Amino acid sequence: MRILVAGGAGYIGSHTCVALLEAGHTVIVADNLCNSKAETLDKVKQITDKDVTFYKVDVTDEAAVDSIFATHQIDGVIHFAGLKAVGESVEKPLAYYYNNLVSTIVLSKACLKYGVRKFVFSSSATVYGENEVPFVETMDLLPTTNPYGETKAISERMLTDAAKSKSEFSVSLLRYFNPVGAHESGLIGEAPTGIPNNLMPYVTQVAKGKLGKLRVFGNDYPTIDGTGVRDYIHVMDLAEGHVVALDKLTSGVHIYNLGTGQGTSVLQLVQAFGEANGIEVPYEIVDRRPGDIAECYADASKAKRELGWTAERDLLDMCRDAWRFEKGYV
């Protein structure tokens, strides 16, 4: 299939380009590079020895998107092109609503206009709010604590309504848990600008000596050791999940959790990192981070049942691959 990957130069998008190319698909990337670099796509080509067509466009620009659809006979779209910093979304809510909602509208409108049948959307476990873990796709969504989460919940509803309005248009809403790690080559990975918000890139930068000490946000949660529990998933498992979701997407709207189903605490992750890489990561316990929940992990059984997909890489793989990328990254 010929797949338009919006946001394909980013962290999850670039790994998904690798998985798509390796599965034999043709890849067209549209990315405005607001949080990524074009060189990442050169690395994708290096890994796969295959070509990628790249458009440096903002996918909220209807005319620019239209011209891509007019030029290529696209069979499916994967939409990664979102802003994703939760804290920043509280400071700049309108920028988040604009980018994340208009991009979804523009891309799905183009699909309807050009008869593109498959649309895969990057949603997030954050849409479950404070439901009871494990999160199951059938749960009612609860309000999220930030505009970023709201953009995901609203995009899900918009795409669901679009699919209802046109039976040929099928949508897969993929709710990611916590993507970490990097491609096994060490050539592509997560390279946040500035001080990382997320745990794994913070840990790798402490390990490298770029940052002093990990701050563990709270040890008084009702969890195994008091620290926050998340469902970390290797980014290559996540990428492969997209390829399967796209292949199997035939009609209607389908929601899948992409997680491992396994909860890991902050301290367990720090320990696994030490075990995988022989590096002790110094840390201190500080106050809870506002907006954090105690536990977030998936019931991952639906993706297994319906897509035949399960995450294969374990926490040690995630820690090893994240570190391999960080070591080589300048």
Cα dist. 181→84, 106, 170 in Å?
17, 31, 30
Torsion angle of C-alpha atoms 248, 249, 255, 259, degrees rounded to 10: 40
Binding of residue 216 to ligand UFG (CB under 6 A): yes
Catalytic positions, please?
A: 148
Q: Which stretch binds ligand NAD (CB under 6 A): 43-51, 129-137, 172-180, 250-258?
A: 172-180
In the list 160, 197, 219, 301, the residue contacting ligand UFG (rule: CB under 6 A) is: 197
Residues in the chain, total: 330
Q: What are phi and psi of 289, to 5 degrees?
A: -90, 130
Question: Would you give the distance in Å from CA 324 to the centre of its chain?
Answer: 20
For every residue of 108-157, DSSP letters joined together read HHHHHHHT--EEEEEEEGGGGTTPPSSB-TTSPP---SSHHHHHHHHHHH
Tell me the site size for ligand UFG, rule CB under 6 A. Answer: 21
Among the listed residues 159, 266, 281, 322, the single contact to ligand UFG using CB under 6 A: 266
- Which of residues 20, 65, 81, 188 is near ligand NAD by CB under 6 A? 81
Query: Is 54 in a helix, a strand, or coil?
Result: strand
| Residues 201-230: x where in contact with ligand NAD by CB under 6 A, - otherwise, as a string | ------------------------------
Instruction: Point out which span in 22-30, 33-41, 122-130, 236-244 binds ligand UFG (CB under 6 A).
Output: 122-130
Residue 289 contact, options ligand UFG, ligand NAD, none, Cβ 5-8 Å cut-off depending on partner type: ligand UFG
- Shortest distance in whole angstroms from residue 8 CB to ligand NAD: 7
Is the Cβ of residue 283 or residue 329 nearer to ligand UFG in the bound state? 283
- The three-class DSSP label of residue 48 is helix
Nearer to ligand UFG, 96 or 309 (CB): 96
CA dist 44 and 202 (Å) reads 24
**CA neighbours within 13 Å on the CB side: how many for 202?**
16
Q: Which CB, 119 or 148, lies closer to ligand UFG? A: 148
Report 8-47 residues binding ligand NAD (CB under 6 A). Answer: 9-13, 31-36
- 91 vs 280 by CB, closer to ligand NAD: 91
Apex 61 CA angle, 9 and 31, nearest 5? 5
Burial of 309 by CB count in 10 Å (0-12 exposed, 13-18 middle, 19+ buried)?
A: buried
Give min distance, CB of 125 to ligand UFG, in A: 4
Q: Which residues bind ligand UFG (CB under 6 A)?
A: 84, 86, 124-126, 177-178, 197-199, 202, 214-217, 228, 230, 266, 289, 292, 296
Contact footprint for ligand NAD (CB under 6 A): 7, 9-13, 31-36, 58-60, 80-84, 99, 103, 122, 124, 176, 178-179
